[in-house]
Amino acid sequence: MSTEPQIAPQLSQTEKMLLARGAALNSSRPNLDVLVKLCTDEDPEIRAAAADTLARLSDAQCNTLLSDPALSDAAARFFLDPEHFRPSLLQTLLRHPATPQDVITELAAKGDSEIVAALLQHLDLLKTPALAALKQNPAAPAPAGAPAESHPQMPDMAAAAELVATLGPEGKLAMARGEAEMPALERICVLVLLASDADPQVSAAAQSTLGSLDERLSLDALAHPSLPPPVARYFLEIKHARVALLPVLLCHPNSPEDAVTTLVSKAGRPVLSVVLEHLDELKTSSLIALKENPAYLDWQKAPALEGYVMEVDLLDMLIQEIESGETPTETVLEQEGAEAEAGEKKEEGVYSKIAKLTVAKKVVLALRGNREERAILIRDGSKVVSRAVLSSPKLTDAEIENFAALKNVSQDVLRLISMNRKFMKDYVVVKNLLNNPRLPLDVGLTLLNRLIPQDLRFLTANRDVSETLRKMADKSLKSRGTK
């Protein structure tokens, strides 16, 4: 185990703030220990900035850093703190010999239902004290026979298989038809087994019964923390998929990834509309499958009147960014942090919420969020996020006019605005772009002929834009015989 990281005492507050805001994030291996150390700094702004930067690190980056043999005690404790807990990092931390067992035990004893559900997926990695603590945790599922509370115990498939093995042909058929009395959750497990029975009559009856189950009952079962993967797999099969049940299945950690990917690759429009609403829950393999789905590609030509259909090239950008595991650059992080600090409390709250989102969740928010959220996301360091903002069906002309005048957005955003015919029909957008010092010069030169003389004259006196653009504006005025 590495020793606790030390930060040079002579560092100024400004230097600490730069580090806290991710000044080393352009490195292939960000200094995790320094950021964790800064989370305990005496300055609350530095603490908040460091925590915010750590939240921006992708799960892939964190897993790589937490796999380091020299993992520090402080870093392990930080990511096992319920406030910073990420289920996708748990396996790496549990496997690491340097992870302190006392913090794992405390997590097992006091964790909420989300943490308990994650721990239940890795029981083989827990030591005896942690297992004992988990058993006593009020958020843990009640053992069989215990009084039912928020969640009755979900039986495992082995128990359901034992029950089915005791049945004769008539008993199986009666069970498949739903005639037997048993707890609802156990019945679903048994029916899923019988749906693949060798007897075609039993199999057909079980599938029919599952298809006619009450949606509320089915949702309760599929949302259970201990949902057996075979049950999730059954309801994710394209022939059994029910639109009302898909949101729960797409978000459930026990849903087999390969089953989700297969569903996405074969889905038609009704299922696709649900998939697109939960795009941020999909793994990379499912996003790739979506991109290759013929029904999705056809839908691009005539999208639904409600909701949205993400453009293929935008989906490509999202896949590439997730695979790269990149985070925003130092400059963007500093810029966004400074803007959040200068804003009102409400704006800081929205900024803080957005800063903790994954790229995929930001993309969905950019497409479906409100005006305030788009105003923050347009400045995001990720190209795919800002591109999604400009693709939002909720975007208004006034927002585009404002974006065109912003001096703290990337040049890519301004270039994308200039390439959109719909946006460029708005004269205010053209004028704002040309007076924006961030506009790439090659774009500005092609737009000069769109300005009326009065605005050209104003541009020649605008010291914020490049000298070349001012001279060309003056030349354009003279060529029109106006000065």
Query: pTM here?
Result: 0.50
* Mean of per-residue pLDDT scores for the chain: 79
Least confident of 253-257, 268-272, 479-483: 479-483
Are 436 and 407 contacting, i.e. CB atoms less than 8 angstroms apart? yes
Which residues in 378-390 are b (16+ Cβ under 10 Å) and which e? bbbbbbbbbbbbb
3-state secondary structure of 2: strand
Q: Is the pLDDT of residue 264 over 70?
A: yes
**Residue 340 contacts by C-beta under 8 Å, 6 or more apart in sequence?**
347, 348, 351, 352, 355
Q: What is the DSSP secondary-structure string of 55-119?
A: HHS-HHHHHHHHT-TT-BHHHHHHHHSTTT--HHHHHHHHH-TTS-HHHHHHHHHH--HHHHHHH
Q: Which pLDDT value is given to residue 109? A: 86
Q: Which pLDDT value is given to residue 398? A: 92
Q: Which pLDDT value is given to residue 217? A: 77
Q: Tokens for 132?
A: 């004992």
Q: Which pLDDT value is given to residue 6? A: 52
Q: Is the pLDDT of residue 332 over 60?
A: no
Q: Which pLDDT value is given to residue 283? A: 80
- Report residue 145's pLDDT band, with 50, 70 and 90 as the boundaries: very low
Q: Is the pLDDT of residue 134 over 80?
A: no
CA angle 448, 452, 453 (to 5 degrees): 95
Give the containing element (helix H, strand E) for 220: helix 215-222
Average pLDDT, stretch 309-314?
A: 62
Least confident of 9-23, 145-159, 377-391, 455-469: 145-159
Average pLDDT, stretch 331-339?
A: 46
- Report residue 1's pLDDT band, with 50, 70 and 90 as the boundaries: very low
Q: Is the pLDDT of residue 28 over 80?
A: no
Q: Which pLDDT value is given to residue 322? A: 65
**Residue 14 contacts by C-beta under 8 Å, 6 or more apart in sequence?**
none
- Report residue 482's pLDDT band, with 50, 70 and 90 as the boundaries: low
Q: Which pLDDT value is given to residue 155? A: 52
The burial class, CB within 10 Å (0-12 / 13-18 / 19+), for 461 is exposed
Q: How far apart are CA 50 and CA 37, in angstroms?
A: 9
Least confident of 13-27, 84-98, 247-261: 13-27
Q: Which pLDDT value is given to residue 305? A: 44
Per-domain boundaries in the chain: 13-99, 154-224, 327-479
- Report residue 437's pLDDT band, with 50, 70 and 90 as the boundaries: very high
- Bridge partners of 72, per DSSP, are 2
Average pLDDT, stretch 225-229?
A: 84
